[in-house]
């Protein structure tokens, strides 16, 4: 990986703050003609955009507040367009993925050091390295679950590039470890579950690599076990994941999802309208249920807002776009990128988050730069 490479430079930056990702989106828009050409040449992406535009417009027209719904309607379309920036706008996808991994590792190191020093640094009302003196951490406005989700790709990326004997492979392994330790600092249960899923997927797709590096795998497992056993707060958080009877956070989510189901039953095809969850929730909320402005699940966010039609269109597009390239050319880089992505989509079963580098990583899965013929990690 060369730091002189444009995609590598931005890849290092975007895990640190969404502001850098917005800058990179702007840079990638300079490839606008190539991106539009790519979309038109890919029937799955093109038809998904058209179909979601039509179904989303119907969802908005049927919503009580049509103006608000129309403002929120493009969210799935924007996500697919950012995926397209990754697929057809990024030039050096391999360097980008490696740089994102190192960027996550750096962020994880910052989080760990900030916790050890118990930092609480603000610039006026803007958090810099804040709430590490008792809270779960905040780096440049990204806190708790959001901060943890920024780190997830680094865990799988670091392990993957280490397994495939990349140059500076120990640096990538270090990035994986610091990313994971950063997630532990945030105590994010959704991120812990998502990261476990990503590691399992990476291992299942690269079983030969696991056997070859079993000593490292055992050492990492022991490191994780020590971290958990030596941190009462982390141990409690992990045990609470499966507590569906007394944990207030879990009970609250179940109540919100029950209300979401009632909403969906009444508006099955096109939903209650994009951006309408908060206002509709109160009308459906039974006495004693938790109050909520969001469904605390990206899946329920799409189901309730865009209905079953929009949900199936979006996730049908996603399944084809990220699985078909692997079936056609199962290269190591594509397997690594897939594992880097999967933790996010497991995490958002429990939170409605958006992490700016995820759709770019998804776009990289289908990038020709990641093909088997280009395999030289």
The pLDDT tens digits for 155-183 are 999 999 998 877 788 999 999 999 999 99
- Specify whether the CB–CB gap between 280 and 263 falls below 8 A: yes
Least confident of 162-171, 214-223, 321-330, 366-375: 366-375
Q: Which two tokens stand for residue 374?
A: 């280009």
pTM as predicted: 0.93
Q: What is the mean pLDDT of residues 61-72?
A: 94
Q: Please, which residues bridge with residue 265 across strands? A: none
Three-state SS for the chain is CCCCCHHHHHHHHCCCCHHHHHHHHHHHHHHHHHHHHHHHHCHHHHHHHHHHHHHHHHHHHCCCCHHHHHHHCCHHHHHHHHHHHHHHHCCCHHHHHHHHHHHHHHHHHHHHHHHHHCCCEEECCEEEEECCCCCCCEECCEEHHHHHHHHHHHHHHHHHHHHCCCCCHHHHHHHHHHHHHHHHHHCCHHHHHHHHHHHHHHHHHCHHHHHHCHHHHHHHHHHHHHHHHHCHHHHHHHHHCCCCCCCHHHHHHHHHHHHHHHHHHHCCCCCCCCCCHHHHHHHHCCCCCCCCCCCCCHHHHHHHHHHHHHHHHHHHHHHHHHHHHHHHCCCHHHHHHHHHHHHHHHHCCCCCCCCCCHHHHHHHHCCHHHCHHHCCC
Residue written as token pair 């790519």:
38
The pLDDT tens digits for 193-239 are 999 999 999 999 988 888 888 888 899 999 999 999 999 999 999 99
Nearest to 274 by CA among 73, 99, 135: 73
The pLDDT assigned to 306 comes to 97
**Is the pLDDT confidence value at 377 over 80?**
no
Cβ atoms < 10 Å from Cβ of 37: 12
Q: What is the mean pLDDT of residues 48-68?
A: 96
- Specify whether the CB–CB gap between 321 and 366 falls below 8 A: yes
- Specify whether the CB–CB gap between 97 and 361 falls below 8 A: yes
CA pair distance 34, 21, nearest whole angstrom = 20
The pLDDT assigned to 3 comes to 66
**Is the pLDDT confidence value at 69 over 80?**
yes
**Is the pLDDT confidence value at 48 over 80?**
yes
Q: What is the mean pLDDT of residues 297-306?
A: 96
Which pairing describes strands 142-143 and 121-123: parallel, antiparallel, or unpaired?
unpaired
- Which one is predicted more confidently, 374 or 345? 345
The pLDDT tens digits for 123-144 are 999 999 999 998 899 999 999 9
The pLDDT assigned to 215 comes to 87
Nearest to 181 by CA among 122, 130, 226: 226
The pLDDT assigned to 372 comes to 65
Nearest to 135 by CA among 108, 106, 115, 109: 115
- Specify whether the CB–CB gap between 307 and 269 falls below 8 A: yes
CA pair distance 136, 187, nearest whole angstrom = 7
The pLDDT assigned to 210 comes to 80
CA pair distance 179, 108, nearest whole angstrom = 4
Please, which pLDDT band fits residue 45 given cuts at 50, 70 and 90?
Answer: very high
**Is the pLDDT confidence value at 373 over 60?**
no
Q: Which two tokens stand for residue 275?
A: 């951006």
Nearest to 334 by CA among 210, 213, 201: 201
Please, which pLDDT band fits residue 376 given cuts at 50, 70 and 90?
Answer: very low
Q: Rounded mean pLDDT of the chain?
A: 93
């Amino acid at each position: 990986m060369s730091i002189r490479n444009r995609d590598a430079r931005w890849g290092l930056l975007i895990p640190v703050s969404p502001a850098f990702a917005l800058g990179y989106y702007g840079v990638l828009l300079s490839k606008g003609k190539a991106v539009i050409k790519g979309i038109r040449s890919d029937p799955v992406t093109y038809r998904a955009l058209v179909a979601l535009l039509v179904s989303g417009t119907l969802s908005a027209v049927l919503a009580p507040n049509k103006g608000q719904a129309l403002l929120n309607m493009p969210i799935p379309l924007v996500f697919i367009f950012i995926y397209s920036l990754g697929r057809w706008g990024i030039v050096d996808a391999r360097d980008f993925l490696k740089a994102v991994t190192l960027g996550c590792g750096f962020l994880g190191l910052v989080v760990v050091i900030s916790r050890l020093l118990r930092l609480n640094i603000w610039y006026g009302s803007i958090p810099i390295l804040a709430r590490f003196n008792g809270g779960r951490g905040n780096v440049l406005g990204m806190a708790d679950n959001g901060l943890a989700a920024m780190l997830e790709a680094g865990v799988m990326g670091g392990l993957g590039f280490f397994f495939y004997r990349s140059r500076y492979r120990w640096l990538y392994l270090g990035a994986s470890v610091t990313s994971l330790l950063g997630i532990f600092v945030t105590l994010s249960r959704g991120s812990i579950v998502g990261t476990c899923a990503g590691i399992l997927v990476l291992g299942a797709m690269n079983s030969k690599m696991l056997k070859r590096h079993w000593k490292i795998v055992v050492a990492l497992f022991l490191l994780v076990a020590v971290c958990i056993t030596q941190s009462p707060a982390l141990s409690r958080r992990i045990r609470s994941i499966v507590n569906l009877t007394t944990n207030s956070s879990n009970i609250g989510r179940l109540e919100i999802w029950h209300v979401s189901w009632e909403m969906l039953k009444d508006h099955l095809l096109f939903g209650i309208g994009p951006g309408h969850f908060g206002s509709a929730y109160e009308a459906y909320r039974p006495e004693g249920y938790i109050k909520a402005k969001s469904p605390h699940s990206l899946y329920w966010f799409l189901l309730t807002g865009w209905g079953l039609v929009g949900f199936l269109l979006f996730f049908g597009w996603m399944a084809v776009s990220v699985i078909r390239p692997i079936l056609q050319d199962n290269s190591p880089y594509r397997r690594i990128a897939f594992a880097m992505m999967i933790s996010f989509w497991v995490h958002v079963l429990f939170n409605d988050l958006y992490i700016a580098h995820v759709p770019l990583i998804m776009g990289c899965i289908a990038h020709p730069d990641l093909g088997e013929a280009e395999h030289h990690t």
